[in-house]
Amino acid sequence: MTRAAEVTEAAADLIVVECAEHDNIEIDAALWLSGDHHLVLNPEIDGRDILRANFRRGVLRLQATSYVGVIPLNDRVIVRVKPRVPIANLTRMVIETGHDVLALSAFREYSSRGSADDWAMDVYADALLDYLDELLDAGMMRSYERRDDEGCFPHGRIDFTRTMQRFAARGVPNKATYSWFERTIDIPANRCIKSAMQAVHAHLSKSKAKPRKGDRAKITRLAGQLLAFEEVEEDTSYQFLDDSLVLGLTPLPEARAYYRSALDLSIVILRGVGIALELGGTDVRLSSLLIDTNKLFENFVRVSLSKSAARQGWPMEVLDGNSEGRVDLYDVPDPLPSPLGKPINALASLDPGKAQPDVVLRGLDGSFRLIAEVKNTVHGKNARFDDVLPERDEVEQAVTYALRYGLDFTVLIHPWFKGTKGLVYVGRVRSVDVYDYRLDLSTEDRTDAALADMAATMAGLAGLAIGQPPTSA
């Protein structure tokens, strides 16, 4: 059996299971449990919170988490986890936030769409480097090109007609016109790949506000790979994009089939086309990209509010409470409390802990105007009523942070999936009012309006008067 037949037969035996994020997955336990009841998982996902095993109604099941994409569970099962939001919105969220993705060694095909941004180029760079390693290990493709010359020491094939015309007819007996075929790597396919390598090198070398970790190592690796293409001419006019073999209209030699993925990716890079995250497509083959929608939703909300603040000139900053917007959770009072007659030392004097809301709005005077916890949870999905209370632990965390920041209200931000959209008043916990904002990302065409409404609501809660003129601060 040939290698291609083995791969085809193996693919035919794979079971593909589809589900939505956070859903239970109906897979026979025999496909992911060993005889001694150990999980049989792809090592790349083992130990990560990508899939969870749990009991539901006495049955051991797998459950998807916040990771969406194509997940090779093991060599027998592939799980395709779909996001709750439309794919176009997911792609937009990833692009606008520059959100990191988890790339697995398993490959899948993607569609290309729109313009390539920094995020797409970073993904392309990683993939091209890997393809080039494979290509150089297997060997570069060559072709035979005809060379013509004339002289006293012919080799190859003598062109008798031209020799008679140019030399014999003029009485020159010791010269001949001849031709030969020479193997060369300077062919359209290699010119295409070299141009893509140069485009990726330019992308990695350009100055960025937040350079990606490891770019310098990638540049060094790419420079080494470019040495193998020294004899390939640069074609700045991209005439190779008219070549039928480069475009896939003519099949590659079977022994050089590994060129196809590198060529398809090179074409996408050179045309400046972005990547769509649909579960399907045939434009380019890349590592399976998994996206943690929990972190993505949090980043997208914060980035969207930051853009609105900058565009409308809010007199306040939008901060990430996980970094620059955080404060100490505990104070150490002076004097220390003495409930048993003598002062008790505070653990907080050694470690004050951190209060770190996902979103912090801080005025230009340094006062805190609003804190929000962003939660990509699906509580109440199966409840009888459309509107249910937020999760208890989410409220407790948000109320604690509000007290620490000296605010009499707190905000939770969730993705909407049913019930009331926009701002909902939950109730009061002693002195702290709790609000829940449900952001509707369920349709692509209403996303801009939903983000604008969220920004206006947060600004209003933070004390920014409706219609307040922008500031230049």
What's the predicted TM-score (pTM) here? 0.75
Question: Residue 32's domain spans which residues?
Answer: 1-82
**Within-domain flag for 356:** yes
Please tell me which residue, 374 or 276, carries the higher pLDDT value.
374
* 304/451 same-domain check: yes
Q: Tens of pLDDT along 409-444?
A: 999 999 998 889 999 999 999 999 999 999 999 888
Residues 71 and 170 in one domain: no
Shared domain for 160 and 12, answered yes or no, is: no
Is the same domain home to 346 and 451? yes
Q: Is the confidence at residue 298, as pLDDT, over 50?
A: yes
Q: Let me know if residue 406 belongs to a domain.
A: yes
285 is a domain residue: no
- 163/39 same-domain check: no
| 360 & 452 share domain | yes
Choose the final residue of a domain: 156, 184, 212: 184
Between 451 and 120, residue with greater pLDDT: 451
In terms of domains, do 433 and 325 share one?
yes
Q: Would you place residue 180 in the very low, low, confident or very high pLDDT band (cuts 50, 70, 90)?
A: low
Q: Indicate if 330 and 423 belong to the same structural domain.
A: yes
Give the mean model confidence (pLDDT) for residues 260-271: 92
Q: Name the residue with higher pLDDT: 102 or 259.
A: 259
Task: Encode pLDDT of 59-92 as tens digits.
Answer: 778 889 899 988 888 888 888 888 888 878 888 8
In-domain check, residue 169:
yes
| Residue 468 within a domain | no
- The arithmetic mean of pLDDT across residues 164-192, rounded, is 79
Q: For residue 431, tell me if it sits in a domain.
A: yes
- 70/147 same-domain check: no
Q: Where among 61, 82, 103 does a domain terminate?
A: 82
In a domain? residue 265: no
Report the 3 state secondary structure along the chain.
CCHHHHHHHHHHHCEEEEEECCCEECCCHHHCECCCCCECCCCCCCCCCCEEEEEECCEEEEEECCEEEEEECCCCEEEEEECCCCHHHHHHHHHHHCCCCEEEEEEEEEEEEEECCHHHHHHHHHHHHHHHHHHHHHCCCCEEEEEEEEECCCCCEECHHHHHHHCHHHCCCCCEEEEEEEEECCCHHHHHHHHHHHHHHHHHHCCCCCCCCCHHHHHHHHHHHHHCCCCCCCCCCCHHHHCHHHHCCCCCCHHHCCHHHHHHHHHHHHCCEEEECCCCCCCEEEEEEEEEHHHHHHHHHHHHHHHHHHHHCCCEEEECCCCCCCEECCCCCCCCCCCCCCCCCCHHHCCCCEECCCEEEEECCCCEEEEEEECCCCCCCCCCCCCCCCCHHHHHHHHHHHHHCCCCEEEEEEECCCCCCEEEEEEEECCEEEEEEEECCCCCCCHHHHHHHHHHHHHHHCCCCCCCCCCCC
**Does 275 reside within a domain?**
no
* End position of a domain, from candidates 132, 156, 184: 184
In this prediction, residue 273 carries a pLDDT of 84
Q: How many domains does the chain have?
A: 3
Kindly report, residue by residue over 184-229, the tens digit of the pLDDT: 888 999 999 999 999 999 999 886 655 566 788 999 999 999 999 9
Give 162 or 263, the one with higher predicted confidence.
263
448 with 375, same domain: the answer is: yes
Same domain? For 76 and 152 the reply is no
